[in-house]
Structure 1
Amino acid sequence: MGLTGADAPAGTGPGSRGEHAGTVAAPLPAHRDRWEQDVLDDPRLLGDIAFAIGGPFHLMYPPRVAANISAFRQVITAAGISGEIFYGKKANKAACVARACATAGAGIDVSSTGELVAALGQGIRGADLLITGPEKADELHWLAARHGCLVAVDSLGELKRLAALDIPVRILLRALPAASASRFGMPADELDQAVTAAAEHPSISLAGFSFHLSGYDPIPRADLAVQLLDRIRAARAQGHPATMISIGGGFGVDYVPAGHWSAFRDEVNRRWFHSGKTFESYYPYSFPDAGPAMLAAVLERDDLAGKLRRTDTTLAVEPGRALLDRAGSTVFRVQGHKTRHEHGQPYRVLTVDGTSLSLSEQWFDSEYLPDPVLWPAGPGTPTPTVAGATTCLESDMLSWRRIPLPRAGVTGDLLVYPNTAGYQMDSNESPFHELPIPPKVVLSQAPGGRFRWALDQF
């Protein structure tokens, strides 16, 4: 959502900074799906939901989750390999997302008993659950083993505790990438020990290996997967089934057009931000090969797909954010407004009825950059605008950046932040000031195309 193409006011497109180039931020309009545009175009829907909820809320559109799963599966099918998709549940805890995964045939990656129980409650079968995380609790081990889940084992000590349950369980051994300082996974010598130890316990079935890498580069993921194919062969030689490699998540999401993102990166300066705020880094909001396209790049590297086929090895992926691309938005109501001046130029300060904890990029000391949309649309003068929270903290800003909104926001308007389903809604929420945590509102389409809505049900 945001200003795009002909909708952008003069002087705010990529490469054009307008009269006050130093103080008005470059626009970052988000890619927008048809469902999002229909919601914005509906003259009543958002206003009716806001009235009923009485505070900020999150919109969820589960059909988009199903479409994202399908796009990943198409890449797997086109490569001619066996593949499994596990949704990284930590990215969003909404029940409707888990239900969409169950309906679309995807599994779920969970890291707590709460996540495991919630996934089962939405129709995910135990065999379709991957249990990840470091040094998992004994209760989680027991419940996972009882339900036939696949468990990614993080250490030799965890393997020993899991074996002590004496319940049949399938496992992956998590590898520590070479030269990595991560606290997760096992180095080469411990992996060797774990393979040998697994053979000594009849209850343990070694299904393969897994790893996670930070960043969004497909090359190291493919290279490590190729290396682990050697371990697959060696484990089979010791009598293990060893049929799977999981390459984790980290599939990028393309939030904004490349030209706008390039203009932002080339020109960003502290004069664009309220009080001269600066950030050391941002999520890379434009990806040339995002989500499924990144998976295709991984499979093409060093003929990984061919090697998986020839060794009859299944590739598992654990996307979180990428399966939630364009599946939700976050809506705040404007409670008040004022004008501030910096560097001799005025800008609007909106106060909304929620907090920056519902835009969790603040958790990483960064800013969620895709432009929010001011609803309802209407005539007006383009107005640089920042958005602050309803709390008493000076630092509680939803948007420090002076966003070039198409008109001046006023009390009662809604500010709609796009594409927030991936991590933004759920990673840092808190009832600070005893404010309610924003509920999730699930949209569906009735016959005839109109939207219906209901609260998400756990």
Structure 2
Amino acid sequence: MINNTKYVKGNPEGGLTPITSPWMHQLFENQKLLSELFRKFSSPINIHHLPTFASTISSYKEVFESYDLKYQIFYARKANKSKSLVKQAFGSGIGVDTASLRELEQSIALGGNGNNLVLTAAIKTKEQYSLAIQNEIPIILDNFEELEQANNIAKQLNKKAIIGIRVSGFIVEESKLYSRFGFDIEKVEQFISKKLNLGSPYQNLKLKGLHFHLDGYSTQQRGKALSDCLNLIRSLNAKAFDISFIDIGGGILMNYLESEQEWTDFETKLKNAVQNDRNQLTFNNDGLGYEMVDGKLRGSLKTYPYFNKVNGTTFIKEVLDYSNLQTGKTNAQELKELQLELRIEPGRSLLNRTGITLAKVAHRKQDAKGQWLVGLEMNMTQMMSSSKDFLLDPFIIYKDSQESNTSVDVFFTGAYCLERDVLLKRKISLPTLPKIGDFVAFVNTAGYMMHFFETEAHLFDLSTNLFLNSQGDFTLTDFIDDNAMK
């Protein structure tokens, strides 16, 4: 037995403890409801708690309002495909950043328009240009050929395309930040002055803003990039341009973990295990980016930085408080002085604690090494991002009394016929081995983990996406299939 406790965090003693919300625990405690959900919707199930999403949106708004800034928040739709989140974004008074034709089409159908949508797709088709131009939705242009395409299609439609120019190549601490996207900051003023002036052949374009999106998570780099763009806008507007917004993209850090100590301890143990060739932490001794080369530890942790002291609203504040090296004024002061609208495109951080992924145990087995493998009714693409592993402890919901009270270490495996379909590369310690039919909950998966790499290989069904508006006392009818959202 488990001392009357029906659910438990994996790695009960330490591990990597995720920050959770009361709504998650209310659900974990209701095994009858969980069983009903799996009977109706199968496994895996993604659940999105819209009140949490709305609350995070409000906290971001409060930051900008505390600085008395003009602003617009665009939820980065690529982080999660659920339509309910788009509808909630509009209902909460923010916009949506779209990166494909289907994202744009769906967002328009759900109530989007030129005031609350933006198109930032890395590859833009004729259909995307046409739809955005017809609906007066701003298009962020990445290169000269995109500029020509937007102008030609706008001319065919007898309309003007509202555009922003993506800028990159910022110099921070004497080092130029490389990006495959955007116009070089050192050349873009001359380009805009030449190609988008009143006498240019591109009269079907209306330049309204600048845009950048930096790789990595440095507030200093973002602060410097914003400062450089503000200097550029000041110069361009002095030449009779009318730039009204600057969009600093996304990449706003979030914090997943309760304890910084657990995070630093994990990385220390991982490095020691790789160095000593006694890796007892991960499946098949995966160093998660660390490796031994010529007797020396090389590499770095190739995962998301799951613990961050500066995150969300404090991250934004650091960018706004960055001081312009020329004027000594902060970015926030410069924005007010220039009467510019600041735009951001958060995805992951805006979805903080909004979602969980639930799956059923399908089988248990021991491999040739004696390791316990617990197979779940899901596959690795249904909880995958660019991070080398998802470093949060899951929760196990035991349905009945257990076979023993002997603790066990397990790895969770998925349904693809691939050796590498291991859902978490970290070993998870449990108070007892789960049974077939028990449930596993992965928390805080709404941002990029649920859908970004999900496939239908083997003709598996895609995961079911449900949304929830209730704060508590959940019943089956509170959970609505996202496909029903209109």
In the alignment, the residues of structure 2 paired with residue 261 and residue 341 of structure 1 have an alpha-carbon distance, to the nearest angstrom, of: 31
Match of 1:175 in 2: 167
Match of 1:278 in 2: 287
Q: Partner letter of residue 307 of structure 1? A: E
CA contact (8 A) 1:66 1:101 kept: yes
Deviations 1:398-451 (A, max 9, x none): 012111223321110111111111011111111122211111011232896656
Post-superposition shift, 1:340?
A: 4.6
Post-superposition shift, 1:212?
A: 0.8
Q: Partner letter of residue 261 of structure 1? A: W
In the alignment, the residues of structure 1 paired with residue 20 and residue 12 of structure 2 have an alpha-carbon distance, to the nearest angstrom, of: 22
- Is 1:44 aligned to 2:53, yes or no? no
Post-superposition shift, 1:365?
A: 6.5
CA contact (8 A) 1:62 1:442 kept: yes
Match of 1:385 in 2: 410
Distance change in 2, residues 1:225/1:443 (3 Å): same
Summarize the alignment of residues 338-417 of structure 1 with structure 2, pairs less than 5 Å apart: 338-340=365-367, 347-361=371-385, 364=386, 366-376=388-398, 380-417=405-442
DSSP 3-state at the match of 2:321: helix
CA contact (8 A) 1:273 1:401 kept: yes
In the alignment, the residues of structure 1 paired with residue 119 and residue 482 of structure 2 have an alpha-carbon distance, to the nearest angstrom, of: 24
In the alignment, the residues of structure 2 paired with residue 127 and residue 145 of structure 1 have an alpha-carbon distance, to the nearest angstrom, of: 13
Match of 1:21 in 2: none
CA contact (8 A) 1:127 1:147 kept: no
In the alignment, the residues of structure 2 paired with residue 57 and residue 259 of structure 1 have an alpha-carbon distance, to the nearest angstrom, of: 32
In the alignment, the residues of structure 1 paired with residue 72 and residue 311 of structure 2 have an alpha-carbon distance, to the nearest angstrom, of: 19
Post-superposition shift, 1:238?
A: 2.2
Match of 2:268 in 1: 266
Summarize the alignment of residues 18-417 of structure 1 with structure 2, pairs less than 5 Å apart: 27-164=15-152, 165-166=154-155, 167-178=159-170, 179-187=176-184, 188-199=186-197, 200=200, 201-257=202-258, 258-268=260-270, 269=273, 270-280=279-289, 281-302=302-323, 303-340=330-367, 347-361=371-385, 364=386, 366-376=388-398, 380-417=405-442
Distance change in 2, residues 1:260/1:446 (3 Å): closer
Q: Partner letter of residue 72 of structure 2? A: E
Instruction: Tell which deviates more after alignment, 290-299 or 130-139.
Output: 130-139
Distance change in 2, residues 1:147/1:333 (3 Å): same
DSSP 3-state at the match of 2:322: helix
Structure 1: 5+ residue stretches without partners: 1-6, 14-26
- Is 1:427 aligned to 2:419, yes or no? no
DSSP 3-state at the match of 2:426: strand
CA contact (8 A) 1:279 1:365 kept: no
Deviations 1:142-196 (A, max 9, x none): 1101111111111122112212222222211110123233211011324421343
In the alignment, the residues of structure 1 paired with residue 254 and residue 417 of structure 2 have an alpha-carbon distance, to the nearest angstrom, of: 33
CA RMSD of aligned residues (A): 2.1
Deviations 1:284-335 (A, max 9, x none): 0011111122111111111111111111111110101111111111111101
- Is 1:453 aligned to 2:479, yes or no? yes
Match of 1:16 in 2: none
TM-score by length of 2: 0.85
Structure 2: 5+ residue stretches without partners: 1-7, 171-175, 274-278, 290-301, 324-329
CA contact (8 A) 1:177 1:224 kept: no
DSSP 3-state at the match of 2:72: strand
CA contact (8 A) 1:135 1:155 kept: no
Deviations 1:39-89 (A, max 9, x none): 112232222111112221111111211111111111111112111101111
In the alignment, the residues of structure 2 paired with residue 156 and residue 352 of structure 1 have an alpha-carbon distance, to the nearest angstrom, of: 48
Number of residue pairs aligned between Structure 1 and Structure 2: 434
CA contact (8 A) 2:27 2:474 kept: no
- Aligned-pair identity in percent equals 24
In the alignment, the residues of structure 1 paired with residue 221 and residue 11 of structure 2 have an alpha-carbon distance, to the nearest angstrom, of: 43
Q: Partner letter of residue 173 of structure 1? A: I
In the alignment, the residues of structure 2 paired with residue 359 and residue 75 of structure 1 have an alpha-carbon distance, to the nearest angstrom, of: 31
TM-score by length of 1: 0.90
